[in-house]
Amino acid sequence: MSTTTATTTKWAIDPTHSEVSFKVKHLVISTVTGYFKSFEGTVDTESEDFDGANISFSADIASIFTNQSDRDNHLKSADFFDAEKFPKMSFSGILKGSALEGELTIKDITKKVTLDVDFGGIVEDPYGQTKAGFEIEGKISRKEFGLMWNAVTEAGSVVVSDQVRIIVNAQVVKQ
């Protein structure tokens, strides 16, 4: 009687070839895009297609960048992320086919989320490293995570929408 044990392959996010962004409606008429410049993540998998992979990720709130320093500082303030008190946001989940199901934590508030995943495949780069690529996208309600600040214009429109699109283009390197 033989027993086979699955081998876990570890992967780490390649920050040079990855980006973590978000999009939110401003004044209901246009979209503002922001990024987290500092983040890290790991993937542990037992399959070539990553089905069932365990994924962990975190981003440094202080690294938020929207190409406008006043807005960046406001997002880091207690009105939004409160970076001083809550320096990181994190995600932990499992990839199930084309869905990434897990728990997102922002400001010590944890909620279940499901994100759509497009697996780009696996290749070996010119330096002999094995890499895999993913496009991950989903929507969250910022208010569910305690990001409550808003204002109303004279015409009655909200300044910042509740719904936030998350877009992650991730390249991971086999360890």
pLDDT over 90 (residue 162): no
**Confidence bin at 158 (pLDDT 50/70/90):** very low
4 assigned to some structural domain: no
Distance CA 84, CA 90 (A): 16
98 part of a folded domain: yes
Is residue 2 assigned to a domain?
Answer: no
φ, ψ (nearest 5 deg) of residue 15: -65, -20
- 78 in a structural domain: yes
Number of structural domains in the chain: 1
Question: Both tokens of residue 39?
Answer: 């983040």
Domain of residue 85, CATH code = 2.40.128.110
164 within domain boundaries? yes
Structural domain contains residue 21: yes
Residue range(s) defining the domain that contains residue 75: 9-174
Residue 151 lies in a domain: yes
pLDDT of residue 146: 80
The per-residue pLDDT for range 58-81, each reduced to its tens digit, is: 999 999 999 999 989 989 999 889
In-domain check, residue 3: no
The pTM of the full predicted model, rounded to 2 decimals, is 0.88
Higher pLDDT, 160 or 104: 104
